[in-house]
Structure 1
């Protein structure tokens, strides 16, 4: 088809939309022409691409007409086509999101496997948009009955392991979203408002935006968040993922401030995760990342003086909030591998030292005792001075409980 013919067709489509004086006519035109118009975005001809401004007209028409059906299946098929340009995909996913909210929940659930399968290879922004659509549905997704079949569901442990990793990475951020809207601090140097780090313990500003961009007060975000977190817990504990892949998720969720989420997660944690899981290097490294945040990359001598790095940086991640920190410390005190990663263990002790909570400072001393009992001779020699200094400072504390733990 020549460029002139394409321009003529787009002009006719625009006239068709302009003449759609009823919802029925508009719905029919959207179903017939939306996907073909989106495909024109991939053309090399600039004059044809410019003519696709008809999409702006379509968007305005659809914005306040939520009952109008859109061609969900056709949009998803187009998005699944890996041969199309990223430009076409970027616009297609926008209309796909608009289409998904217009169909019944039962129909949305049927599409979840297809949405997951087309995550791989997409731009990060598109992946995040898909994951925000998928996450609220996870608790109701129909899964195979047998554990064997679940372990191979969508091949998330095998062929599509990268997709499984993307989903788990997103969910660990989603799991730590606060139940109250955090405050925002103006940052003129970045040209935007940033979330007050004090309200996002364990999350960076980018992680918060990634997980919550479509969740607002107006659409009942705070009321629905507990239900969505419960659904996500049930999904990851269903046997789709290996125990070591979900251990950190369940650990964080078991310290949730809402008892329904915490109790359910703790039950799954005790059922699924044995002591041997906490002796695996990748798992313990991930646990330390959850606890320390950006402090993990700060030199040890600075951490011992109370530094957590550049707290004003947009990529800064503060240490875990108190409940999560206590849950993590309980795990670390039972793990030999936690002691072998000695520098991170000493940083964890230092973080506890500067906590305002007496219970956390006591648990930090118990972790120190665990380090002293199980540390190798080389590690004891290398870090002994730092540990001894830490104990001496604890002995000088006023709290009698700290004295009782520190003196032995």
Structure 2
């Protein structure tokens, strides 16, 4: 352990040193690797992978993503490596070649894990991610989710914008299904940065055309993103017997709520999803995160409930 600690310190101070990333990845993904070897391989992958040339990062990216299905305990660490590498993806004009670049079509479990993480990443605010005691976390997130997404490393404003744009391009590349990508694209369309919001809006329009808005997975996720999981005022968050207290998550930002409710108005299932539909009406009309536009859309949603 002392030797490994010494090596790690030397690597931190010498960012130009290259590591045998291919061999480390082979050890990490090998089912026969002992747990200690697998964990050490991941530690040095975290040092070595970002040091690779962009072309090599792109070459290895599919193998990293496919490791998500067998390395469940290390999924967040792997995804923290993958997201910065997305900016190096160069999507061919021929959309038929996209699945050769990221062959995920036969791996629905990997796509599910990836999309969930990317959606949360799109909710990251620009600026400080530190949430001090007594301070409200960013909309749609909590301290635990922020740590899970970033691993404690705060990206710069430019890096975050660049990564969000890369995420939107990935979501729009048709390597995943419209049902899988529409919710994160809606999050992107409400981003404070116009570059991200405009690109997200463009692809939301493209993928939402002809989409079945009665799909339970879409409706329930949009309702959950609008409402959050905020605990009842005056009550402390519930503590899990198997882990630490799970912090509540507030609903998304005002911009995103307006986007969400405009799509929920297309759904009969949303109007019949009790008690969430009633909670949405009260939150949209009387909540602390609202506006005249959101109140108008909320009243329209209340009429939508009555009609259904």
Normalised TM-score (structure 1) = 0.68
Q: How far is 1:252 from its partner?
A: 0.9
In structure 1, what is the Cα distance between the partners aligned to 2:300 and 2:169? 33
Counterpart for residue 256 of structure 1: 191
In structure 1, runs of 5+ residues without a counterpart are 1-51, 188-195, 375-408
In structure 1, what is the Cα distance between the partners aligned to 2:237 and 2:284? 18
In structure 1, what is the Cα distance between the partners aligned to 2:303 and 2:171? 34
In structure 2, what is the Cα distance between the partners aligned to 1:321 and 1:204? 13
In structure 1, what is the Cα distance between the partners aligned to 2:37 and 2:23? 14
In structure 2, what is the Cα distance between the partners aligned to 1:70 and 1:140? 20
Q: Give the one of 218, 223, 242 matched to 1:288.
A: 223
Structure with the higher fraction of residues in helix conformation: 1
Q: Give the one of 108, 112, 119 matched to 2:68.
A: 119
Q: Does 1:176 align with 2:108?
A: no
Q: How far is 1:123 from its partner?
A: 4.0
Partners of 1:139 and 1:234 within 8 A in 2: no
Q: What SS does the aligned partner of 1:277 have?
A: coil
In structure 1, what is the Cα distance between the partners aligned to 2:234 and 2:299? 20
Counterpart for residue 371 of structure 1: 305
In structure 2, what is the Cα distance between the partners aligned to 1:73 and 1:358? 52
In structure 2, what is the Cα distance between the partners aligned to 1:337 and 1:123? 33
In structure 1, what is the Cα distance between the partners aligned to 2:24 and 2:257? 44
Normalised TM-score (structure 2) = 0.89
In structure 2, runs of 5+ residues without a counterpart are 239-244
Partners of 1:277 and 1:283 within 8 A in 2: no
Q: Does 1:64 align with 2:13?
A: yes
Q: How far is 1:95 from its partner?
A: 0.6
Q: Does 1:140 align with 2:88?
A: yes
Partners of 1:137 and 1:231 within 8 A in 2: no
In structure 2, what is the Cα distance between the partners aligned to 1:327 and 1:372? 21
In structure 2, what is the Cα distance between the partners aligned to 1:123 and 1:334? 36
Q: Deviations over 1:22-57 (max 9, x none)?
A: xxxxxxxxxxxxxxxxxxxxxxxxxxxxxx532122
Counterpart for residue 4 of structure 1: none
Counterpart for residue 145 of structure 2: 207
Counterpart for residue 101 of structure 1: 50
Compare relative contact order (CA 8 Å, sep 6+) and give the higher one, 1 or 2.
2
Q: How far is 1:290 from its partner?
A: 0.9
Q: Does 1:345 align with 2:293?
A: no
Cα RMSD of the aligned pairs, angstroms, is 2.4
Q: Deviations over 1:217-266 (max 9, x none)?
A: xxx52221011100100011100000010010111110101110000010
Partners of 2:54 and 2:88 within 8 A in 1: no
Q: Does 1:267 align with 2:193?
A: no
In structure 1, what is the Cα distance between the partners aligned to 2:101 and 2:221? 25
Task: Kindly tell me the number of residue pairs found equivalent between the two proteins.
Answer: 300
Counterpart for residue 378 of structure 1: none
Partners of 2:281 and 2:302 within 8 A in 1: yes
In structure 1, what is the Cα distance between the partners aligned to 2:108 and 2:305? 35
Q: Deviations over 1:67-125 (max 9, x none)?
A: 1222122111111211112221111111111112222222212111111111212143x
Counterpart for residue 241 of structure 2: none
Partners of 1:155 and 1:161 within 8 A in 2: no
Judged with a 3 Å threshold, the aligned counterparts in structure 2 of structure 1 residues 291 and 121 are, in CA distance, closer, same or farther, namely same
Per mean C-alpha deviation after superposition, the further-off stretch among 174-183 and 313-322 is 313-322
In structure 2, what is the Cα distance between the partners aligned to 1:290 and 1:179? 19
